[in-house]
A and B are shown apart, each in its own frame.
Chain A
Amino acid sequence: GAVVSQHPSRVICKSGTSVKIECRSLDFQATTMFWYRQFPKQSLMLMATSNEGSKATYEQGVEKDKFLINHASLTLSTLTVTSAHPEDSSFYICSARDLLGNTIYFGEGSWLTVV
């Protein structure tokens, strides 16, 4: 079946630095990918919709200058957390929709810790 790969699975970075998380669809093309954030014991909160070749659509309350999303190809979307702070520490997970849109495949998620 389709697979979405996310990298890195775990990352620790210093406060003030930037960190990039990649989301790849391995065996299908994804014109749309989604980025979610999940705090411990909470649900997934949609941050933004990543559209190939165009600007991402951010959800209300999500700082677009802090969470940079680039969807440069049909198989790759990246999320860059800029000037990271400890409160940005969270589980970030991406998903991609297949062409029919009936199934959403998720990456393995990335645990970000900002120290």
Chain B
Amino acid sequence: AQKITQTQPGMFVQEKEAVTLDCTYDTSDPSYGLFWYKQPSSGEMIFLIYQGSYDQQNATEGRYSLNFQKARKSANLVISASQLGDSAMYFCAMRGRYSSASKIIFGSGTRLSIRP
């Protein structure tokens, strides 16, 4: 069975500071993918970053980077130089490739609030 755990229900960060959102996972699939999504109050799910389990390097997309530690089964999202517009819910998600039939499951989310 797959499981995604986000232990931070809410975080407050000062504008321009870096922030790390935690995500740990569990899966029996040998190959899997990890995602981070941002969900503002409007409800849309905005794709941020993807990390494949066999990727040698940590994924980066602009101000977003994924700190992937496979042995520890963690995939933390790092946002550098946070902005007021970063305030939103953030979800970590995982997709397996075999036993899970490519289903994508989500963690419980972290509500990030950026202080001016």
Which residues of A approach B to under 8 Å, CB–CB?
32, 34, 36, 38, 42-46, 49, 57, 91, 93, 95, 97, 101-106, 108-109, 111
Known: A93-B43, A102-B33. A43 touches B104 (CB 8 A): no
The 9 closest A-B pairs by CB, nearest first: A106-B45, A109-B43, A44-B106, A43-B106, A43-B108, A108-B44, A43-B109, A102-B50, A91-B43
Q: Which of B45, B101, B108, B109 contacts A49 (CB 8 A)?
A: B101
Q: Which residues on the A side are within 8 Å of B104 (C-beta)?
A: 34, 46, 95, 104
CB distance B103 to A34 under 8 Å?
yes
CB distance B44 to A101 under 8 Å?
no
- Looking at A44, A105, A106, A108, the one whose CB has the most chain B CB atoms below 10 A away is A44
CB distance B105 to A102 under 8 Å?
no
Complex Cα spacing A104 to B102, Å: 11
State the total of A-B contacts with C-beta under 8 angstroms: 55
CB distance B50 to A44 under 8 Å?
no
Q: Which residues on the B side are within 8 Å of A36 (C-beta)?
A: 106
Which residues of B approach A to under 8 Å, CB–CB?
33, 35, 37, 42-45, 47, 50, 52, 91, 93, 95, 97, 101-109
CB distance B35 to A43 under 8 Å?
no
CB distance B43 to A104 under 8 Å?
no
Q: Which of A43, A93, A101 contacts B95 (CB 8 A)?
A: A101
Complex Cα spacing A69 to B37, Å: 25
| Chain A residue nearest to B108 in the complex (CB) | A43
Q: Which residues on the A side are within 8 Å of B109 (C-beta)?
A: 42-43
Q: Which of A45, A91, A101, A104 contacts B47 (CB 8 A)?
A: A104
Q: Which residues on the A side are within 8 Å of B35 (C-beta)?
A: 104
Q: Which residues on the B side are within 8 Å of A57 (C-beta)?
A: 101
| Chain B residue nearest to A59 in the complex (CB) | B103
Complex Cα spacing A111 to B42, Å: 10
Q: Which residues on the A side are within 8 Å of B91 (C-beta)?
A: 43-44
Q: Which residues on the A side are within 8 Å of B101 (C-beta)?
A: 49, 57
Other A-B pairs beyond A43-B106, A44-B45, A108-B44, 16, CB < 8 Å: A32-B102, A34-B103, A38-B43, A42-B109, A46-B105, A91-B43, A97-B102, A101-B33, A101-B97, A102-B50, A103-B47, A104-B35, A104-B104, A105-B47, A108-B42, A109-B45
